[in-house]
A and B are shown apart, each in its own frame.
Chain A
Amino acid sequence: MTIKRVEGGRTDHKVFIYALSTCGWCKRTKDFLKEKNVAYEYMDVDQATREEKREVGEFLKERNVPLGFPVTVIDDETVISGYKPEALAEALGL
């Protein structure tokens, strides 16, 4: 399984990031959450298995998310595409 968990004090929202291990804006997004002490899970899609990649592709298509990274999903509901600290803060009530 390619999903990793990062612990944090804030656990009131379920946060999941589709990221790339090599991408600068994905790192910024992870760092932002870490800095705000938000617990989150992420998948580095470039390191995922083919089956996982296919699932990610389906998810993004289903939700009509533009194909770029990172994609942050909050409470399985709010989808934030790209590095957007303001949008993250708002969705997480920071």
Chain B
Amino acid sequence: MTTLEMVRRRAELDAKANGYFLNPDSEFLENILEGLRVNEERFGYPACPCRIAVGSFELDRDIICPCDYRDPDVQDYGACYCCLYVDSATYEKGEIHPIPERRLPEKALKVFSSIEEEEKKSQLMAGVVEDARIGRILFYCRQCGYVVFREEPPYICPICRAKREMFSEIGPLLETGGT
């Protein structure tokens, strides 16, 4: 069972580790934490409470809290999409506003199409390395060497905080089996 306290502590630790703050409006914060708790009970992972999740780990992976969009959103807007994590300026101002959605609409649309179909497609894609346009590819951070297998490179390197431009593909190397 996931308790609200567990969710809160996890968020607090994560905020601290990344130099963020939690939403200064305690009522609003309580709502988001409760949303995360409900989603974790429901899906087995804390899917973003302000987005619609499919309920399949593969398809929801980018919106598992802290989502892929948090770091660039806090950087650009001072808050993540749900306004769970905020930067120090937003925290001090004590005022929160909705921010635009960065996640591609195609991803959310999957919820409304046939779930079985999408899952099959994504499982197929996970095994396909050669078609970079539809499948996942290996990216590496040229600054610190972090490697990630995704549809697109991360916005920010989770290890060294390098920008997206620092990521390069290593797909072709795999195809030929190295040298």
B interface with A by C-beta (< 8 Å): 28, 31-32, 34-36, 38-39, 49-53, 82-83, 98, 101, 105, 108-109, 111-113, 115
Complex contacts, A66 vs chain B, CB 8 Å: 101, 105
**Residues A57 and B98 in contact in the complex (CB < 8 Å), given A21-B38, A23-B35:** no
B35 & A57 in contact (Cβ 8 Å cutoff): no
Q: Which 4 A-B pairs have the closest CB atoms?
A: A57-B112, A22-B35, A22-B49, A23-B50
Q: Is the interface of A mostly helix, strand, loop or mixed?
A: helix
How many residue pairs bridge A and B at CB < 8 Å?
A: 65
The tally of residues in A whose CB lies under 8 Å from a CB in B reads 25
Please pick, from A24, A26, A69, A82, the residue contacting B83 in the complex, using a CB distance under 8 A.
A24
Complex contacts, A69 vs chain B, CB 8 Å: 50-52
Which A1-49 residues sit within 8 Å CB-CB of chain B?
Answer: 20-28, 45-46
Beyond known contacts A45-B52, A69-B50: 13 more, CB 8 A cutoff: A21-B35, A22-B36, A23-B35, A23-B51, A23-B82, A24-B83, A25-B50, A28-B28, A57-B109, A61-B109, A66-B105, A68-B108, A84-B98
User: Could you show 19 A-B contacts with beta carbons less than 8 Å apart?
Assistant: A20-B35, A21-B35, A21-B38, A22-B35, A22-B38, A22-B49, A23-B35, A24-B28, A24-B31, A24-B35, A25-B50, A46-B52, A50-B115, A56-B112, A57-B111, A67-B109, A68-B108, A69-B52, A83-B98
Complex contacts, B36 vs chain A, CB 8 Å: 22
A24 & B50 in contact (Cβ 8 Å cutoff): yes
A23–B49 CA distance with the chains assembled, in angstroms: 5
